[in-house]
Amino acid sequence: MEQKKYDRLKNLYGDKGPQNDKYTWFFPDENEFRRIIAVGDIHGNLNRLESLFERMDYEPQRDLLVFLGDYIDRGEEGVACVSLVQKMAEENPHVIPLMGNHEHVLGKLLKEDEWGYSGEAFYDCLDNGGKPTIEGLAKLQSQDKKAFYKWVHFILHLKRIAVISDKYILTHAGFSQTAISNQQESMLWTRDEFYKFYNGTQTVAIGHTPVQNFPDSTGKPIHRENDVWMVDTGSFLEKGYISAVDIKTGDYWQSSDDAPSEEMKKLNFFIRKIKSASCYRGMRRYQTILAKHLNEYENKGVITEQTKQDMLKQYVIDLSWDKLLLDREAAKQEDKEMVDLLREIKKED
């Protein structure tokens, strides 16, 4: 990079410009790549992630693919999503996985010197939808310890930011326009103080803040007037997406939204009513309504006979009032069970 190009990044990286280090991926020539593709937050939605790649014209040898973080939590397949990204990164040096705030919280929990079962990181993890991630890790450890250790190592060593020449910066949440070395937390947690007030000369791509937070959102990535791309399109939301943007051209791709049908929403509503019923009579009433809708939807071809039979068995035939009360009592032990899972994960780490 010529010295004059460094001048545009002096406020962030000093006179020497950006370097590959523990926090930064640096590529000096943007023309090395056909496209620079930023992938937004994933949050454990493997189906949407796979559907995104089915829709993208992705060329591994010609494109730089940068994941903006938040692979885990909220969705049920966070461990599998990380494993997929990990495999892609191992096979291709042009796949760049960055850290999100959810990986940061989990990392605090997994580090030996900060390990604890009742501390802030533990409850931060649960409060941010981390239960399926912890359960998935426990399962991975029991099935394949080598894969488990590689998974943990991958999470703990994710970098924070990718800089491509003097033109493009990609990170999870943003940054203040001062020295990068002093703001590792900011890159993971900042919100409107960055995307509203950024006035740098580089094109920036971030995730972290779902575009659905904005009243005029269409669920598509937003390119703000200050040249900030917002690529988090609510992967964990019912009608959200995982999105990818070529920040060179503005082309973008989105996953399927795989939102449940109106019929499935209705069935789920009555299932919730059954589970929350305060008396036997109320439970039986909602079980009767559920059975009626199951028959109706099977006749219409909305669900298969097998699906109907499975749901009848689970929520009508096998679900007695006594069992429901026992299930609720068991739910009160959730924190304790999560602690036990964490101990199992840590035992051989």
Half-sphere exposure of 90 (CA within 13 A, CB side): 10
Q: Write out pLDDT tens, residues 155-208.
A: 999 999 999 998 999 999 998 765 555 566 778 999 998 999 998 889 999 999
Helices (H) and strands (E) in the chain, counts: 15, 11
117 confidence band (pLDDT: 50, 70, 90): very low
* C-alpha 346: how far from chain center: 23
Q: For residues 326 and 322, what is the distance between their CA atoms, to the nearest angstrom?
A: 6
Residue 54 CB: number of other CB atoms within 10 A? 11
- DSSP letters, 195-262, are HTT---SSEEEE-SS-GGGSTT--SS-EE-TTSEEE----TTSTT---EEEETTT--EEE----PPPH
114 confidence band (pLDDT: 50, 70, 90): very low
Q: Which domains does the chain carry?
A: 3-100+158-254 (3.60.21.10), 262-318 (no CATH)
Examine the pLDDT at 339 and tell me if it is beyond 80.
Answer: no
Q: What is the pLDDT of residue 38?
A: 98
Contact 221, 230 (CB under 8 A): yes
Q: Which residues are paired to 66 by β-bridges?
A: 38, 96
Q: What is the pLDDT of residue 225?
A: 95
Mean pLDDT of 62-75: 96
Mean pLDDT of 314-329: 72
Residue 173 CB: number of other CB atoms within 10 A? 25
- Of the given ranges (36-40, 296-300, 307-311), which has the lowest mean pLDDT? 307-311
pTM of the model: 0.75
> What's the DSSP call for residue 99?
P
